[in-house]
Amino acid sequence: MATHLLVPLHVKYIQGLGESKDDLAYHLTAHLRLNAIYWGLTALSIVDRQDALDRDEMIEFVMSCWDEDAGAFGAHPNHDAHILATLSAIQILVMQDALDRLDVPKVVKFILSLQQPSGVFAGDSFGEIDTRFSYCAVSALSLLGRLHELDIEKTTNYIIQCRNFDGGFGSCVGAESHAGQVWVCVAALAIMDRLDVVDVPTLAWWLAERQLPSGGLNGRPEKLPDVCYSHWALSSLAILKKLSWIDADKTISFILSAQDSEGGGIADRAGDMVDVFHTVFGIAGLSLLGYPDLLDLDPVYCMPAATIERMGLRKDWQALERRTTTMS
C-alpha cells in the first residue's frame, strides 16, 4: 500500500482520461465531461503540473460546450446548458486565464434567471432546486466579478432555512445534513461574507465527528468513510478554521491507501476503482492537511489558492501548515 502520494502516476492517469475512448465508462460519463476536466485540471494544479494537459485544446473544448440558446455551458458539445457544467467551464477558464473567451453578460443573465422566489437556485430551466446550485451561482458570479448583481439576502435566507439542529445543512428545506451540502452552503456563505449565520461550534463538532477510526471521513452519521468527504468536510472545517479538530495523519493515510499504485488515480476507499472525482478530492484533502510539496488549495472555491488570491477573492480560511516531510 502506497505511503506517499504517487504524483507522476496520478498525472499520467489524468492525462490518460481523455484518451480512454475505448472504455464504455468514458462514453457513459459524457454528461460529466466538463466537470471531469475541471476536476482533472484542479488536481494537476495542486500537484503543480497544470502544464500536463494542453491549454489551447482544453479551452477549445470548453467553448465547444457552449449552448447558445441558453447562454451557458452544457457538460459536453450538444448537451443542454446546466449550472453545474457552467461553473466548471468558468473555473477552467479562470485557471487557464482565458475568461476573455466568455460572453460574461450572457452567462450572468443565465445564472440570475435560475434564482427562485424562495432564494434557492434551479440547475436549469427544468427547475430542479438544490443548495448545490446556489453555491454554483454564488461561486460563478464571484469568479466573474459580478456578485453584486446577486440578491445576497434572498440567497442567504434560503440557506438559513436549510440549517438543521446538528448545525449542518441539507440540499433543500427539510433535508438532512450531509457533508457535501454543508460545504456548498458554508462556502457560499463565505463568499457572500455571511458566515455569521453558521452555528460554528455545533457544525464544527458535527464535521469533526465525520472522522472514523480508519481515518477516513463519512458524509453523515453512521455511514461508511469515503475519500471525497476529505474535501467536503475538510474544506468546511478549513473555512470554519477548525481543521485541527480531526486527526490529520490518519486522514492522510486513509487517502493515500485509496490510491491505485498501478494505474494511478484515487478511489473512494482502498481497493476500489479510481475516478477523477475522488482523485481531485483526495489531493484537495491532502493539500488542506499540509501534505508536503503540494500547492495550496482554496477550500472556498476548490481551486488553487494562488489563482483566487490573484483575483482578490480570498476569504478568511485556514488550512494546516505545509509539512516538509511526509510523516509528521
Partner 1 sequence: MTSASEEEFDVILLGTGLTESITAAALAKAGVKVAQIDTNPYYGAENASLSLDELIQWADEQNSTSSQERAPYYLLGRFRRGQLRTVPGSKEDIFKSTEITLLEKRRVMRFLMFAASEFEEKPEFQGKKDLPFSEFLDSAFSLSSAMSTVICFALAYCFHPSDSTPNALSRIRRYLRSHGRYGPSSFIIGQYGGAGEIAQGFCRTAAVHGGVYILGRSIRSITPIPSLDAPSDHPEQNAQAPSYDVTLNDFPEHLISRVLISSPLLAPEDLRGSAEYIPLDQSYDHAHFGLTVARCIAIIDQPIIFASAPAAADEEDTEDLEGPKARQPDPSDVASIIFPPSTLENGSDSAAATVIVMGAGTMSTPEGKWIVYIMLPVPENTRLSSEDVLQPYLSHILTLTSVPDSGDQSDHGSSHLLFKLFYLEHNDPPQSPTAPCTSSSSFFITPPSTQHPAEIFDCATSSAETTFWRTIRALQSTRVLQLNNGDDGCATLEVDSFWPPLDRDAEEEEEEEW
Partner 2 sequence: MHGVKRQTQQAIADRKQREKSKIEGLLKLTDAVLARKKGQDFSAEAFDATTQLLTVNPEFYTIWNYRRNILTNGLFRESTPEAINELLSGELALTMKFLQAHPKVYWIWNHRQWCLQNVPPGPGSDVDGWKKKYWAFELQAVEKMLNADARNFHAWNYRRYVLANMPVPRPESSELTYTMKKIESNFSNFSAWHQRSKVYTSLWHQGKLDPIKSKEKEFELVRNAMYTDPDDQSIWMYHRWLVGLGHDKELLDREIGVIHELLEEQPDSKWCMESLVHYKRLILTNYPSNQDPELVADCVRLLDQLKDIDSARRHRYEEIRQNIESIGGRS
Decide: is 174 part of the binding site for partner 2 (CB under 8 A). yes
The distance of closest approach from Cβ of residue 224 to partner 1 in the complex, given in angstroms and rounded to an integer, is: 6
Name which of 286, 297, 277, 299 is nearest 326 in CA terms: 286
**Number of residues this chain uses to bind partner 2 (CB under 8 A):** 61
Query: Which residue from 178, 210, 242, 315 is in contact with partner 1, where contact means CB under 8 A?
Result: 178
Please identify which residue in the block is written with the cell numbers 468514458. Answer: 26
- Contact stretch for partner 2 (CB under 8 A) within 38-46, 108-116, 175-183, 279-287: 175-183
Residue 180 touches which of partner 1, partner 2, none (CB < 5 to 8 A by kind)? partner 1
Q: How far is CA 246 from the centre of its chain?
A: 20
Contact (CB, 8 A) for 303 and 94: yes
Residue 82 within binding range of partner 1, rule CB under 8 A: no
Half-sphere exposure of 87 (CA within 13 A, CB side): 23
Which position among 185, 246, 289, 319 is part of the footprint of partner 2 (CB under 8 A)?
Answer: 246
224 in contact with partner 1 (CB under 8 A): yes
Minimum CB distance to partner 1, residue 226 (Å): 4
Q: State how far the Cα of 247 lies from the Cα of 71, in Å rounded to an integer.
A: 45
Exposed e or buried b per residue across 86-107, where buried means at least 16 C-beta atoms within 10 angstroms of its C-beta: bbbbbbbbbbbebeeebeeeeb
DSSP characters over 16-32: HHTT-TT-HHHHHTGGG
The answer to whether 175 contacts partner 2 (rule: CB under 8 A) is: yes
Set of cell numbers at residue 239: 473555512
Region near partner 1 per CB under 8 A, out of 87-95, 100-108, 155-163, 223-231: 223-231
Residue 47 or 186: which CB sits closer to partner 1? 186
Please report whether residue 165 would count as binding partner 2 according to CB under 8 A: yes
Residues 85-114 that bind partner 2 (CB under 8 A): none
How many residues belong to the site for partner 1 (CB under 8 A)? 11
Q: Which of the listed partners (partner 2, partner 1, none) does 156 bind, with a CB threshold of 5 to 8 Å by partner kind? A: none
Those residues whose C-beta lies under 8 Å from the C-beta of residue 314, and which sit 6 or more positions away, are 298, 305, 308
Q: Could you tell me which of 22, 23, 250, 236 has the C-alpha nearest to residue 135?
A: 236
User: Can you give the binding site for partner 1, defined by CB under 8 A?
Assistant: 132, 178, 180, 218-219, 223-224, 226, 228, 268, 277
